[in-house]
Amino acid sequence: MNPLTQALETRFDAMAPELLAIYRDLHRHPELSMQEHRSAGIAADYIGKLGYEVTREVGLTGVVGVLRNGEGATVMLRADMDALPMDEDTGLPYASRVPGVAHSCGHDLHMAWLMGAAQVLAEARDAWRGTAVVVFQPGEEVAQGAAAMVADWDGAGLPRADVVLGQHVMVGAAGTVSYRTGVMLSAGDSLQVTLFGRGSHGSEPHTSVDPVVMAASTVLRLQTIVAREVSPFDSAVLTVGSLQAGTRENIIPEQAVLKLNLRTYDDGVREHILGAVRRICCAEADASGAPRPPEFATLSRYPLTLNDPAATARVAEAFSAQFGDAAYQRQPSAASEDFSEFGRAWGAPSVFWFVGGTDPATWEAARAAGRIRDIPSNHSPRFAPVLDPTLKTGLQAMLTAASAWLCAAAPSA
């Protein structure tokens, strides 16, 4: 056990009731991306009372706390704050009270973890040396918040980190942490493609250029990109999640709109698929005799989440000492994050890992039956992490990773 988790151990029972109350309050009052004013205020007030230098409205609603504690590394710990535009169906007594908005990804728990870690760092300064930077980030779900904070960072006079650390609650046995070197999360691109036709009466299709047929052909052809243009040794996902056209069955509309999502694990594969999407959409429009080429708009763009090898090795060693077999290497996830924007902007190594949030008995039963896919996952209306032991495990993981830098030159606690 490292000095920071030792400090947590003596404080956790006293800290837990307040952290759980904050978590449940955040869960009841979720806020959409880049609108997290109430959540940001709660975080800022909490760390301000602990003695952090607090900067508000970084990247619109982001909050940064800086705690200087002598010479040493500058370590950034990050949590995201935003909720999703969806209804909750957990039946929890602290379920969302905001119609159409829910913390169905776990960012409320991330905030509680970071507040707790910030408290331990503030109260156990004899256990570490350096500078702790705690970041409550807006807008992760729309891939805007990290970039917005980076854009404001230097102007706000904030210190750049030597290492950037972050974690996410996911489906997995509570009490476990999982990590990997290299690609941890996929790159994610969401695009909108507008296909243009010529409208007409449904009884006279020969006088039209039908964008519905054009869109249908385009959707089918797009599926060949992964099947026929991506090597079997690479991985990619391309999903057309929305096709919208027309208002009535007897009106051939003027246009059709596709919204598609792409996940890749290699920057070269990513650029090839993006080019292939454009090529196919334009070719189908040309083949249909469209009056004008398609229009393309980027809805969101997430970079690859790449864990630095040397920094990951330090975190893995610390996790092994803290958690034993409950810390393990995992495969990459097809989810995407904007967490790596910080490290990319500063040329700093970053490490991102997962904390299991599923009741261990539920997880084991599902695993034994080969039905893990039936466990409600992040972004499900029924996603509900168990709080015991997930709250404590997340605090341990965050402090353990930070200790690999902050406690390296600190005196023994």
pLDDT at 10 over 50: yes
Helix-then-strand count for the chain, H and E: 10, 16
pLDDT at 413 over 80: no
State yes or no: cis peptide before 411, omega within 30 of 0.
no
Q: Which of 122, 225, 106, 111 is nearest to 170 (CA)?
A: 106
- 42: amino acid identity, one letter: I
Q: Are 32 and 83 in contact (CB under 8 A)?
A: yes
Predicted local distance difference test score (pLDDT) of residue 409: 61
Query: Where does the pLDDT of residue 365 fall: very low under 50, low under 70, confident under 90, or very high at 90 and above?
Result: very high
The domain ranges of the chain are 3-184+304-406, 187-302
| Averaged pLDDT for residues 228-246 | 96
Predicted local distance difference test score (pLDDT) of residue 412: 45
Predicted local distance difference test score (pLDDT) of residue 30: 98
Q: Which residues contact 147 (CB under 8 A, 6 or more apart)?
A: 59, 338, 341
Query: Where does the pLDDT of residue 410 fall: very low under 50, low under 70, confident under 90, or very high at 90 and above?
Result: low
- CATH number of the domain at 187-302, please? 3.30.70.360
Helix (H, G, I), strand (E, B) or coil at 190: strand
Q: Which residues contact 161 (CB under 8 A, 6 or more apart)?
A: 74, 75, 76, 133, 342, 343, 346, 348
pLDDT at 411 over 90: no
Query: Where does the pLDDT of residue 345 fall: very low under 50, low under 70, confident under 90, or very high at 90 and above?
Result: very high
| Measured CA angle at 175 (ends 318, 115), to 5 deg | 75
Question: Exposure string (b/e) for 145-157, b if CB count within 10 Å is 16 or more?
Answer: bbbbbbebbeeee
CA torsion through residues 6, 11, 16, 19, sign: negative
Spatial separation of the C-alpha atoms in residues 111 and 47, rounded to whole Å: 11
Predicted local distance difference test score (pLDDT) of residue 154: 98
- Token output for 232: 């079997």
- CATH number of the domain at 3-184+304-406, please? 3.40.630.10
Q: What is the pLDDT of residues 307-321, one digit of tens each?
A: 999 999 999 999 999
Burial class (CB in 10 A: 0-12, 13-18, 19+), 296: middle
Q: Which residues contact 64 (CB under 8 A, 6 or more apart)?
A: 54, 55, 58, 133, 134, 135, 136, 149, 156, 158
Q: What is the pLDDT of residues 161-172, one digit of tens each?
A: 999 999 999 999
Chain mean pLDDT for the chain: 97
- Token output for 188: 């994610």
| Averaged pLDDT for residues 124-145 | 98
Query: Where does the pLDDT of residue 1 fall: very low under 50, low under 70, confident under 90, or very high at 90 and above?
Result: confident
| Averaged pLDDT for residues 370-387 | 97
| Averaged pLDDT for residues 69-90 | 98
Query: Where does the pLDDT of residue 46 fall: very low under 50, low under 70, confident under 90, or very high at 90 and above?
Result: very high
| Averaged pLDDT for residues 388-404 | 98
Q: Which value, in Å, is the radius of gyration of the alpha carbons in the chain?
A: 24
Q: Which of 108, 116, 151, 146 is nearest to 8 (CA)?
A: 116
- Token output for 339: 């967490």
| Whole-number percent of the chain with pLDDT over 70 | 99
What's phi and psi for 325, nearest 5 deg?
Answer: -70, -10
